[in-house]
Amino acid sequence: MDVPASHPRKESLETRHKIVEGIEQGITSTCGLIAHGRGEAFDYLIGEQTIPPADKAIHAAVSKLLQAKHPVLSVNGNVAVLVPEEYIALGKALNAPLEINLFYRTPERMKSIEKLLHSKGCECLLTGEDARIGVESERRKIDSQGQAKADVILVPLEDGDRTEALKRAGKYVITIDLNPLSRTARQADITIVDNITRAVPLMIKYAEQSAKQQTFNNKENLEETLEYIKRRLNGRIFD
Ligand code: PTJ
């Protein structure tokens, strides 16, 4: 789907089209479209830019992932179509495997995502379901060599249940979620309130610079994000 170069919302429309094409290719779930729309709404509120609290969270996240013994990067149907190359590059930069974990898990979707990531050069992809975490959804199926033994897990565009279960299992959870009010955002150890399309390239950059350890408080960071949004809504920082 071509968007005219002159269209003022070209980038946003192209991103939206990636999700639509992902559905047509059996990669993204239909609900992934709804999740994307919710993300877009929150992206407007932060001005479709990486705001200072997100940058701080990205630094802290990369530092934690670099220090981890067994970091794992979780992939769902939205992540797979929005940032496939970047996510693979992040895995390489952090020496971390990617693991497919789907809410709407079907063998067909698993295969489509696996095929896509392999075609983009992913060499370290986990898809096993020989271990479990404490949720009832299909997300309970995890790989014994991945999330099951991971100490730090990146779970972008997530629903709250798995974050809660991973925390109960003693894992350190990092998320990327444009909604600072979501259950995932509130329960994760580090929440990056930014669009995954901006956050992952920055994560690669900071990983290559070996981001130093940061003191980080997720609750305070989310408060800062909400303050930022409030200031924007009050019209104080519009051009
Ligand atoms: O591929 P599956 O089967 O695992 O399904 C994945 C979805 C995304 C459908 C599933 O995880 C889901 O329903 O997620 P939620 O509960 O809608 O949460 C997704 C969160 O991601 C929401 O808070 C959105 O605001 C946020 N979000 C959506 N798009 C982006 C985003 N955050 C960062 N970048 C985005 N591009």
CATH number, domain containing residue 100: 3.40.50.12640
Longest Cα–Cα distance of the chain, Å, equals 53
Instruction: Tell whether 125 is covered by a domain.
Output: yes
Instruction: Tell whether 26 is covered by a domain.
Output: no
C-alpha closest to that of 178 among 43, 78, 34, 83: 43
What residues contact residue 29 under an 8 Å CB cut-off, 6+ apart? 23, 77, 102, 103, 104, 109
From first to last of the 239 residues of the chain, give the pLDDT tens digit. 677 788 778 888 889 999 999 999 999 999 999 999 999 999 999 999 999 999 999 999 999 999 999 999 999 999 999 999 999 999 999 999 999 999 999 999 999 999 999 999 999 999 999 999 999 999 999 999 999 999 999 999 988 889 999 999 999 999 999 999 999 999 999 999 999 999 999 999 999 998 777 799 999 999 999 999 999 999 865 55
Structural domain span for residue 164: 52-233
Instruction: Tell whether 187 is covered by a domain.
Output: yes
Give, to the nearest 10 degrees, the angle between helix 10-24 and helix 30-45: 160
Instruction: Tell whether 45 is covered by a domain.
Output: no
- Please give the Cα distance from 32 to 214 (Å, whole number): 33
Q: Whose CA is nearest to atom 5 of ligand 1?
A: 103
> Looking at the 3D structure of the chain, how many domains does it have?
1
Structure tokens at 141: 């199926």
- Please give the Cα distance from 82 to 32 (Å, whole number): 11
* Backbone φ/ψ region at 141: left (φ over 0), alpha (ψ -120 to 50), beta: beta
Instruction: Tell whether 3 is covered by a domain.
Output: no
Distance 92 CA to ligand 1 centre (A): 24
Distance 222 CA to ligand 1 centre (A): 18
Instruction: Tell whether 198 is covered by a domain.
Output: yes
Residue 191: CB within 6 Å of ligand 1? no
